[in-house]
Chains A and B, each alone.
Chain A
Amino acid sequence: MAFDTLLVANRGEIAARVIRSAQSLGLRAVAVYTTADAKAPHVAIADEAVWIGEGPVGDSYLVGDKILEAAQQTGAGAIHPGYGFLSENSEFAQAVEGAGLTFIGPEPKAILSMGNKAEAKRLMIVAGVPCVPGYEGEDQSDAVLIGAAGKIGFPIMVKAAAGGGGRGMRLVHDSADLAEAITLARSEAENAFGSGELILEKAITRPRHVEIQVFADTHGNVIHLGERDCSVQRRHQKVVEEAPCPVMTPELRGRMGAAAVDAARAVDYRGAGTVEFLLDGYGAFYFLEMNTRLQVEHPVTELVTGLDLVAMQIAVAQGEPLPLTQDDVTLTGHAIEVRLYAEDPANDYLPATGPIDLWQPASGPGVRVDAGVVTGQEVSPFYDPMLAKLIAHGPTREAARARLIKAVKDSVLLGTVTNSAFLADVLGQGAFAKGEATTAFLDQAYPDGFPATQASPANVVLALALLLDADRQRTKQAAGYVSDDQLGWSSAALLPLHVPLTFGEEELTPRALAKPDGWMVWVGDDQFDVSFADCRNGQIRARINDQTVDLVAHVTRDAVQIAVEAERLVFRRPRPGAQDDTAAAGGRVVAPMPGLVVEVQAEPGVMVTKGDRLAVLEAMKMQHQITAAVDGTVAAVHVKAGQQLTAGDVMIEIEESE
């Protein structure tokens, strides 16, 4: 059981985080990576790194044999699976043990039991853990499912038995919608997990999602480390996680903790695990599922308990007893975590890819950033678009919240779209500030979705002045000697330069005139005097009409990205003479994001009307409907089911009707 080399079968922030703990314990850490991840930080910090494929997870991080081969090649005695990928794959865990290596996680049997929701629920009922009324039978016919749903009552949740992370999950309010929901959930489940088995559960309306961190060793000790409240979710994806839960009492924690420990004991659990519950408004809680791995949100528990959960996982795997008893567990202060994603909250959370032109994480007292990216890296379409976790700890919830809002603003990632403005806004919402958020919070707070960032005149001014300043720097370098006092000077007045900029779809034409110390910029009829003062630690201090703005920017010839507060804005400067081809785009249906074609409904020669479904594209766990933007006839179909696309690929062409 003793080992001196640990292979981390994962990528991104969790791989980096596990490697650091392993190294701090004196272990040699081995990373695995793909070509797409060659520049990733987990590769850079590992003592050794093994290449396991080009990019797609099916050829790399999900291939157990490659991982085992890498472990053997590097003399690793143990494998830490992180979360996702192979972390809850019992066959892999079995294979690891079979190869004589240590799997950092529970026994394969425990993974298998908890991995199937139906079986898990049956086990929990036996163990006396409170469960939501539902159906978890083996008969999966539509008629039986619909009949069971009638008995349980609406609203009802349709879930993939093998699922997790929200995939294959549907909330149904009305019996009329049930049949379609079952069909969709089954298809999603089949695509995602290879099994279309579904379970039904009574939907608890507006519950909190409260989960208990449990830890078990191989000496029969099982303890819990308190709870995490992960109620702020969008489509069952956690957005904000905190510890402790704002409405927790010691008495309730005791009951929930005991239930979680019972759940862990029921499957002879080993290592770190999480038992998820729904907590309703009356203090009743129901078993949801058990995650047999380290959770994404484990840092909040670490910050309030002062423990290193990864180090504890490794110790348990090496056969050591837990370093503390239940009575030793203390919870100090409050910690909150948010997940920084490469996605567009204003556009249905569409995942984004692209270069990371700048990554500047926040730092400061009580702030922890677990990042899986570095400047110069590329966010590829192959993996989960989570970039980093931003976590803040403070003596009170309010202190932690204030620190986290600042950390979100100060953590700047430029190059690809991120949800940073959304995160700051969520943390600033009154209901969240008061600790009242339930799983219904986001839908209530943003009934119409999260609004797109607007280009305020001040930001347009900043963008233009930054572009022109960079131009000036460049030409001053290229030119012969030009003294500083001549910059921005003309012996006779020039007229302002009209600069066409685009901000998303919006076209702007601000004007600018150079001044010795900066620029005069006009947006519409409003005039702004802008200059840039000292730049320190990548921060630029701008002065606009006697107001000071701190920002971070990344400027190229054709675009400027700026980070002001939590907003991240991209302005592009089109080159003159570029042909405007947007007019012709109406009939061309392009992939809005990288993804897998699941279904193609469009057939050549068929008439379609605007809004008709043409295809379904699965990207980052979500199935996106591709619909016709115009009325017309399908002229060509360029894709088929199972095909992987990158954003911008032409999928279907429609000949627009007159």
Chain B
Amino acid sequence: MGFVSQVVRDSESYAKNRADMLALVDEMRALEARPVALSEQRRDRMEARGQITPRDRLAHLLDPGMPFLQIHGLAGYCVDNKNPEKSVPGASLIIGIGFISGVRCMIIVDDAGIKAGSMVEMSGAAFLSAQDMALKQNLPFVHLVESAGANLMEYKVEFWANGGKLFRNLARHSAAGLPNVAVLHGPSTAGGAYMPGLADYVVGVKKNGMAALAGAALTHAATGEKANDRDLGGSEMHATTSGLVEYLAEDDAHGVAMARDVMARLDWNKSLPERRAKNVQPPKYDADEIAGVVPTDYRIPYDVREVVARIVDGSEFEDFKPGYGAATVCLQAAINGISVGILGNNGPLDPAGANKASQFIQLCGQSDTPLIFLNNITGFMVGTQSEQGGMIKHGAKMIQAVTSVDVPKITLYIGASFGAGNYGMCGYAYDPDFLFAWPNAATGVMGGEQAAGTMEMVARAGMKRKGIEPDEDKLKMQTAMITQHFTSQEGAFYTSGRCIDHGVIDPRDTRRVLGFCLETCLEGRARKVKPTSYGVHRF
């Protein structure tokens, strides 16, 4: 069914929405630009060493003009440095899914332009998340290595404990029948040496590539041996003596070209089913209008169908039970010719809405139809009527359905996503295949004002019990503090910094992101892989 938009493009609200949203997008782009600018400061020094910069390596690695989806681009934001004005996001990594010799791959590039590529607090989480995604989507994995390792000055024991999973994941990845390639552009010492150690294919770059359990300094400290780094772990040595390096490259660009050659030789797409000819109609309503359709303040209601109309093929969809549990919107549509079930919110989840959603999710499971969750949910409905209506058990059914349905799940935080509503709408803990936020998204257990209001009620009740006159100034201060405590953690940039989503996107890119993610999911599920018991051992 075609959808007729009610949005007036030359209205004041459209203009305001658009200005607000684009300001947030600009803010997001400015944050993304910080690690780029910082890393670029090392360009001259790297080039003087005969190297090219990490982002230049990435550009050489990727097929020109093919799409690239960045993952965890804001990882670490406000984590290492609490100052939002100064914090540099990215966790010293550049992560994304892109094409190498026509093969869709998970790519991690160590950002050696920032603190020599050493790991920071969120690097591990982002790395593990990308590895998990590669495993889940059957993606080959390519790592361009140049990292000083963990920063010893900021060592925490749990980094080391959790860090082991990086290598465990590499072993699992290989065992799953998924090739992984490492290019040794620079040093990779201590635990980092197992990055190439556990790779299926290692390209070592002459002169700069280096992998050793201990560099010259630690070797001297540990054994008293006076050795040099090239003898301990230079690419040339590994290519001829230790057998760690398969392919020896003249320089960075050559190393990357060799990784591309390795990928091309795998004929990795041989098991992909023939593409069906698709006559894909773009949305009738321009995706660019999303910025004007959605108020950045989640308290202002709007019809989520206006968003869907700017995402799906031909702006066409079927409305599933529109008159029942009307605040919960279930739509059947297609993106790039792929049928999808879309859940959205025009208000809180009530018993009827939760029931409708659960049934819709189960139907999609039955027909193996991917699900898309457009979160703008302030929570499950509270109140006597709702509780007596069985909100808990209906919400529970929805959580069961979301948890168990075995289809690709893609979640977008497009506005609010609070409390258990987030769980029902396939939030972070429900392990969606992909989870991206718009820059206006707000997530948390509840809104700051609700939390502060609740605490104020508790405080007043306590004072009343003790017979104390409420101190209005103190209460006002408490409310402000609690509101601040909650709202400072609910913004999309903050939550993305803590890696509880896969990144923040420009809302106008939503159709492209969804199309890309859906293809990734379908390709991954269609791919025939040959798992082995132990992964491929390096001999």
What 5 pairs between A and B have smallest CB-CB spacing? Answer: A478-B102, A577-B254, A472-B65, A492-B70, A486-B67
Contact mask A476-489 → B, CB, 8 Å, 1/0? 11111111011111
A485-B515, A577-B249 known; A495-B55 Cβ under 8 A = yes
Interface residues in B136-170 by Cβ distance below 8 A to A read none
Docked CA distance A498–B99 (Å): 18
Contact mask B51-92 → A, CB, 8 Å, 1/0? 011011011101111111110010000000000000000000
Question: Cβ of A24 < 8 Å from any Cβ of B?
Answer: no
Which A residue sits closest to B103, measured CB to CB?
A: A479
Question: Cβ of B253 < 8 Å from any Cβ of A?
Answer: yes
Contact mask A511-529 → B, CB, 8 Å, 1/0? 0101000010000000000
* Contact yes or no, A471 B64, CB < 8 A: yes
Docked CA distance A481–B250 (Å): 34
Interface size class of B (residues with CB under 8 A): 35 or more
Docked CA distance A489–B67 (Å): 5
A-binding segment of B376-384, B390-398, B506-514: B506-514
Question: Cβ of B101 < 8 Å from any Cβ of A?
Answer: yes
Chain A residues positioned under 8 Å from B275 (CB to CB): 480-481
Question: Cβ of A323 < 8 Å from any Cβ of B?
Answer: no
Question: Cβ of B18 < 8 Å from any Cβ of A?
Answer: no
* Contact yes or no, B250 A577, CB < 8 A: yes
Interface residues in B21-69 by Cβ distance below 8 A to A read 29, 32-33, 36, 52-53, 55-56, 58-60, 62-69
Question: Cβ of B231 < 8 Å from any Cβ of A?
Answer: no
A479-B103, A487-B65 known; A493-B336 Cβ under 8 A = no
Question: Cβ of B444 < 8 Å from any Cβ of A?
Answer: no
Contact mask B82-113 → A, CB, 8 Å, 1/0? 00000000000000100101111000000000
Question: Cβ of B214 < 8 Å from any Cβ of A?
Answer: no
A472-B65, A512-B64 known; A479-B104 Cβ under 8 A = yes
Which A residue sits closest to B503, measured CB to CB?
A: A491
Question: Cβ of A449 < 8 Å from any Cβ of B?
Answer: no
* Contact yes or no, B65 A491, CB < 8 A: no
Pick from B99, B251, B516: contact of A577, CB under 8 Å: B251
* Contact yes or no, B519 A482, CB < 8 A: yes
* Contact yes or no, B257 A494, CB < 8 A: no
Docked CA distance A494–B60 (Å): 11
* Contact yes or no, A472 B66, CB < 8 A: yes
Question: Cβ of B437 < 8 Å from any Cβ of A?
Answer: no
Question: Cβ of B269 < 8 Å from any Cβ of A?
Answer: yes
Chain A residues positioned under 8 Å from B272 (CB to CB): 480
* Contact yes or no, A486 B512, CB < 8 A: yes
Question: Cβ of B278 < 8 Å from any Cβ of A?
Answer: yes
Question: Cβ of B256 < 8 Å from any Cβ of A?
Answer: yes
Max chain B Cβ within 10 angstroms of own Cβ: one of A468, A488, A489: A489
Docked CA distance A577–B206 (Å): 11
Docked CA distance A554–B253 (Å): 26
* Contact yes or no, B66 A492, CB < 8 A: no
Pick from A478, A498, A576: contact of B257, CB under 8 Å: A576
* Contact yes or no, A495 B63, CB < 8 A: no
Question: Cβ of B419 < 8 Å from any Cβ of A?
Answer: no
Pick from B59, B336, B511: contact of A494, CB under 8 Å: B59
* Contact yes or no, B64 A514, CB < 8 A: yes
Docked CA distance A489–B68 (Å): 7
- Chain B nearest Cβ from A31, distance in angstroms: 44
B: residues with CB less than 8 A from A are 29, 32-33, 36, 52-53, 55-56, 58-60, 62-70, 73, 96, 99, 101-104, 249-251, 253-254, 256-258, 269, 272, 275, 278, 280, 282, 336, 503, 505-506, 509, 511-513, 515-516, 519, 523
Could you show 11 A-B contacts with beta carbons less than 8 Å apart?
Answer: A471-B63, A477-B102, A479-B269, A486-B516, A491-B69, A492-B96, A493-B36, A514-B65, A575-B257, A576-B60, A579-B250
Question: Cβ of A497 < 8 Å from any Cβ of B?
Answer: yes
* Contact yes or no, B63 A475, CB < 8 A: yes
Interface residues in A542-581 by Cβ distance below 8 A to B read 575-577, 579
Docked CA distance A493–B70 (Å): 9
Which B residue sits closest to A493, measured CB to CB?
A: B32
Which A residue sits closest to B55, measured CB to CB?
A: A495
- Chain B nearest Cβ from A75, distance in angstroms: 55
Docked CA distance A486–B336 (Å): 11
* Contact yes or no, B32 A481, CB < 8 A: no
| A479-B66, A480-B275 given; 11 more Cβ-contact pairs under 8 Å | A475-B66, A481-B336, A483-B280, A485-B511, A486-B67, A486-B515, A491-B96, A492-B73, A576-B60, A576-B250, A576-B251
* Contact yes or no, B67 A494, CB < 8 A: no
Pick from A474, A478, A487: contact of B67, CB under 8 Å: A487
Chain B residues positioned under 8 Å from A494 (CB to CB): 55, 58-59, 62, 68
Question: Cβ of A325 < 8 Å from any Cβ of B?
Answer: no
Docked CA distance A312–B483 (Å): 103
Chain B residues positioned under 8 Å from A579 (CB to CB): 250
Q: How many chain A residues have a CB neighbour from B under 8 Å?
A: 35
A480-B272, A483-B515, A493-B32 known; A468-B256 Cβ under 8 A = no
- Chain A nearest Cβ from B36, distance in angstroms: 7
- Chain A nearest Cβ from B64, distance in angstroms: 4
Contact mask A45-65 → B, CB, 8 Å, 1/0? 000000000000000000000
Chain B residues positioned under 8 Å from A496 (CB to CB): 59
Question: Cβ of A469 < 8 Å from any Cβ of B?
Answer: yes
* Contact yes or no, A479 B32, CB < 8 A: no
Interface of B is mostly: mixed
Question: Cβ of A490 < 8 Å from any Cβ of B?
Answer: yes
Chain A residues positioned under 8 Å from B282 (CB to CB): 485
Docked CA distance A498–B60 (Å): 8
Docked CA distance A599–B60 (Å): 49
* Contact yes or no, A475 B33, CB < 8 A: no
Which B residue sits closest to A515, measured CB to CB?
A: B65
- Chain A nearest Cβ from B138, distance in angstroms: 12
- Chain B nearest Cβ from A578, distance in angstroms: 8
Docked CA distance A489–B249 (Å): 30
Docked CA distance A468–B63 (Å): 9
Docked CA distance A92–B459 (Å): 121
* Contact yes or no, A492 B62, CB < 8 A: no
Chain A residues positioned under 8 Å from B258 (CB to CB): 577
- Chain B nearest Cβ from A473, distance in angstroms: 9
A468-B64, A469-B65, A490-B68 known; A497-B336 Cβ under 8 A = no
- Chain B nearest Cβ from A406, distance in angstroms: 34
Chain A residues positioned under 8 Å from B52 (CB to CB): 498
- Chain A nearest Cβ from B264, distance in angstroms: 8
A480-B519, A514-B65 known; A491-B104 Cβ under 8 A = no
- Chain A nearest Cβ from B280, distance in angstroms: 6
Pick from B33, B36, B70, B99: contact of A491, CB under 8 Å: B70
Max chain B Cβ within 10 angstroms of own Cβ: one of A471, A477, A488, A514: A514
A475-B66, A514-B65, A577-B257 known; A493-B33 Cβ under 8 A = yes
Contact mask A64-84 → B, CB, 8 Å, 1/0? 000000000000000000000
- Chain A nearest Cβ from B69, distance in angstroms: 5
Pick from B29, B62, B66: contact of A482, CB under 8 Å: B66
- Chain A nearest Cβ from B176, distance in angstroms: 19
- Chain A nearest Cβ from B437, distance in angstroms: 12
* Contact yes or no, B512 A480, CB < 8 A: no
* Contact yes or no, B102 A487, CB < 8 A: no
* Contact yes or no, A475 B257, CB < 8 A: no
- Chain B nearest Cβ from A173, distance in angstroms: 55
Docked CA distance A577–B516 (Å): 33
Docked CA distance A608–B187 (Å): 49
- Chain B nearest Cβ from A72, distance in angstroms: 56
Docked CA distance A483–B522 (Å): 14
Chain A residues positioned under 8 Å from B102 (CB to CB): 474-479
Chain B residues positioned under 8 Å from A487 (CB to CB): 65-67
Chain B residues positioned under 8 Å from A485 (CB to CB): 282, 511-512, 515
Chain B residues positioned under 8 Å from A498 (CB to CB): 52, 56, 59-60
Pick from A476, A491, A512, A575: contact of B66, CB under 8 Å: A476
Chain B residues positioned under 8 Å from A519 (CB to CB): 65
Which A residue sits closest to B205, measured CB to CB?
A: A577
